[in-house]
Amino acid sequence: MSLKIYINGKLYDKEDAKVSVYDHGLLYGDGVFEGMRIYGGKVFRLAEHLERLWNSAKAIWLEIPMTPEALAEAVNQTMQVNGIRDGYVRLVVTRGAGTLGLDPNKCSDPQVIVIADTITLYPREYYEQGLHIVTVSTIRNHPAALSPRIKSLNYLNNILAKIEGLQAGCVEALMLNQKGEVSECTGDNIFLVRKGELLTPSVDAGVLEGITRSVVLELARELKIPVREIPLTKHDVYIADECFLTGSAAEIVPVTKVDSRKIGDGLPGPITRRLLKRFHEVTRQ
């Protein structure tokens, strides 16, 4: 049986789920998206993802032609018809089909797309041994040009950084901001642990406000681990006791080498492991 894809209120077989080549989502990356996890038949933090989707859309003057409640219903319906109990949901809202010019006012019918599918997870060894990452030369989008808080369909900034990372043999890459401070990785937020404190760049550093990031901040408070959201440099990363990344796909993944420097003792650290254990309890309860 073919996977069913939701587009604007209808379910299509995967092969028939199509959008126009005049859609500005394709022509210009003009649109927004979300990537979410399904655990035990339930979308994790659905309300938060919908809020971020609506905020991204608002920032680019894109009106999503339905209510968040109706989209939540569409997400649950799509997940259920496909019988996905553990997997991934991609929400996409495009500007819709228009003319071959930039003007979004010439577009009609924004496409609201829901894809619920299985997910290929990072291999186990990444969690047991930790990832090796590199800092890349592509800086994160300048917030005054295009805010990294917008999860837009234009992901070239991240893709270029990802390619640089892959060329260095790494599946994730660390991006700095226009001030040379640590921002985030191509699809994950970054955390450090130093002297028992959890450190992460604040939103001002030009990062996506990750949902997993906010869950980790909540768990840290619950576990009485002190947290600071502060500007961080590469030097802070190199001298950290622990480092890990967070994202809907990666969850919490330890990092044990950055730019050929061993982090801490080169193994996933105790605070990372505590947070990961608690994260698993929260998501797999």
Looking at residue 3, its amino acid is L
Q: Which of 24, 132, 162, 213 binds ligand PXG (CB under 6 A)?
A: 213
Query: Counting contacts by CB under 6 A, is residue 189 touching ligand PXG?
Result: yes
**Segment lying near ligand PXG (by CB under 6 A), choices 53-61, 108-116, 230-238, 240-248:** 240-248
Query: Counting contacts by CB under 6 A, is residue 130 touching ligand PXG?
Result: no
CB atoms < 10 A from the CB of 27, how many? 19
**Segment lying near ligand PXG (by CB under 6 A), choices 55-63, 127-135, 184-192, 268-276:** 184-192
Considering the complex, state which of residue 106 and residue 142 has its C-beta at the smaller distance from ligand PXG.
142
273, containing H or E segment:
helix 270-283
Q: How many residues bind ligand PXG (CB under 6 A)?
A: 15
Site string for ligand PXG, 1-40 (x = CB under 6 A): ----------------------------------x-----
Contact criterion met (CB below 8 Å) for 189 and 210:
yes
- Sequence-distant (6+) residues with CB within 8 A of 83 are none
**Nearest by Cα to 186 from 218, 141, 142, 147:** 141
**Segment lying near ligand PXG (by CB under 6 A), choices 9-17, 198-206, 244-252, 272-280:** 244-252
**Nearest by Cα to 44 from 87, 95, 91:** 87
Considering the complex, state which of residue 171 and residue 211 has its C-beta at the smaller distance from ligand PXG.
211
What CA–CA distances, in Å, run from 190 to 198, 205, 252? Answer: 11, 12, 10
Q: Which residues bind ligand PXG (CB under 6 A)?
A: 35, 158, 184, 187-189, 208, 210-213, 246-249
